[in-house]
Amino acid sequence: MIALFTDFGLAGPYTGQMKAVLHRDAPGVPVVDLFADAPTGDPKASAYLLAAYAAWFPLGTVFLCVVDPGVGGERPPVVVEADGRAFVGPGNGLFELVERRAKATRCDEIAWRPDSLSASFHGRDLFAPIAAMLARGAAPPPRPIDARRVRRPDWPDDLAEIVYVDGYGNAMTGLRAARLPQGATLVVAGRPLDRARTFSDRPPGEAFWYENSNGLAEIAVNRGRADRALGLAVGTPVAVT
């Protein structure tokens, strides 16, 4: 299958245009919408989300990923192979955590170019055709790339920030819950939050943090919205005590 991970939002033509290319070039291959609302123009926050959620997809999945504020600039277009999955998109750090956490990985620059390439929509004109080729097993020859052009060794293994707010107002962090100390308290917006197993373990209106279904530490309010109650947004810092 091909999984879409973008910051295009839920409205507008961009996702539809990319899907049209995928259906044209890889007919019959299932296309799954993973995120259409990844952190806008923020490859760093998106990298922690992508690494957490990609692990749940079967081997052979091709991820078409577009969080690309530098589209048309010097950042290289790349294909990353990591533990049996392929990732297509900009070499701007978006795949840093995927590569870092993989047992086996390879990154190559995309040398192929279409006959017509928009300077501002590589998702449609470059990345989608390559993702379709990979899904069909017919990718063009890769070109090795210097890792220094695409890796971000200065980024932490876990990001102590809010990286995503879902439609319920729950706020995901870039922290893997399993790596936090036993009994850890998260402090966000000046509020210390204890851990709970799930929503019903806390009374209505109480804020807490828990391990979400993809292994990230997530901040929530039972029967409420954590983003509004605590003033949270992508980039809000989180402390661990």
Q: What does the pLDDT read at residue 10?
A: 85
Neighbouring C-beta atoms of residue 197, cutoff 10 Å: 10
Phi first, then psi, for residue 33 (nearest 5°) are: -85, 110
Q: Are 222 and 200 in contact (CB under 8 A)?
A: yes
Q: What does the pLDDT read at residue 162?
A: 98
Q: What does the pLDDT read at residue 142?
A: 83
As a CATH number, domain 2-149 is: 3.40.50.10790
Model confidence pLDDT, tens digit, residues 112-127: 999 999 999 999 999 9
Q: What does the pLDDT read at residue 140?
A: 87
- Domain 159-240: give its CATH architecture: Beta Barrel (2.40)
Domain ranges (residues) in the chain: 2-149, 159-240
- Read off the pLDDT band of 145 (50, 70, 90): very high
Model confidence pLDDT, tens digit, residues 13-51: 999 999 999 999 999 999 999 999 999 999 999 999 999
How large is the average pLDDT for residues 213-220? 98
